[in-house]
Amino acid sequence: MRRPVAQARGALAANKAGAVDEGVSTTLTARVFALMRSDILELRLEPGSKLVLEELRDKYDVGASPLRESLSRLAVEGLVTGEDRRGFRVAPITEDDFVDLTMLRKEIEVLAVTRSVERGNDMWEADLLRSFHHMSLATPAARGTEWPGRHQAFHEALVSACGSPRLLHLRRQLFDQFTRYQRIAPRHVWRSAVNDTEHKKMLDAALARDSKKCEALILAHIKVLDTIVDAIKSFNNKA
């Protein structure tokens, strides 16, 4: 009668070990995905460059399975492209993609902002004021390092009350991909930070619950910038 009990205990231990292994694999994949995503968005992995599995294993100190899973997830986001039986490349930057991304981001951002302005409560107002103040305190000497993250936090606070996790997820993906294009023209981003008046207008309109004005300001804020188009041309000519 003891043998079935021992077998059951052995099976239970094996199941626990399998669950631990699966959990470790999931954690590794999440870590590698986050690191690779950051490296792509920050241009440490150059647009259009080939992603060699052996090199990535050394770079991220991880096995092939978490890497493949991470690459598949990045492909879904459009940050890498798959080549039939030839692996993956970092998604290129092109004028057509930038224009398409900008147009879609306008639509999604307007939807998220107007819903948030209509639904936001006093806690939302407090978070919005705090994020704006934090962004405005970025020192001139550190605009290039401090301002982008604080700028992103302000926009996330602005849309945070929209009430749709799916909308927020899609909006974040588009925002991040747009930022990748901005990073090839860093001088424009720096000038925007120094001479910033648009965000104060957005803040005032949001606190006044003027969704129509917010919509107009967002559409004017997100635009196909000639500086970025020129930077795309210059980058691709070098390649």
* pTM as predicted: 0.81
Residues 144 and 58 in one domain: no
CA-nearest of 108, 57, 44 to 87 is 57
Residues 134 and 63 in one domain: no
What pLDDT was estimated at residue 27?
Answer: 84
Residue type, 150: R
Mean pLDDT on 2-21 = 50
List pLDDT tens digits, range 85-113: 778 999 999 999 999 999 999 999 999 99
Please give the mean pLDDT across all residues of the chain.
Answer: 86
Residues 123 and 173 in one domain: yes
Q: Which two tokens stand for residue 91?
A: 């998604």
Residues 32 and 102 in one domain: no
Residues forming a β-bridge with 82: 88
Residues 201 and 107 in one domain: yes
What pLDDT was estimated at residue 12?
Answer: 47
Q: 163: domain CATH number? A: 1.20.120.530
Residues 112 and 81 in one domain: no
Residues 147 and 216 in one domain: yes
Residues 202 and 132 in one domain: yes
The boundaries of the domain holding residue 199 are 95-238
The model's confidence at residue 36, banded by pLDDT at 50, 70 and 90, is very high
Residues 85 and 132 in one domain: no
Mean pLDDT on 54-79 = 92
Residues 138 and 201 in one domain: yes
144-152 — which CB contacts under 8 Å span 24+ positions? 144/186, 144/189, 144/190, 147/189, 147/190, 147/193, 148/179, 148/189, 151/193, 151/199, 152/179
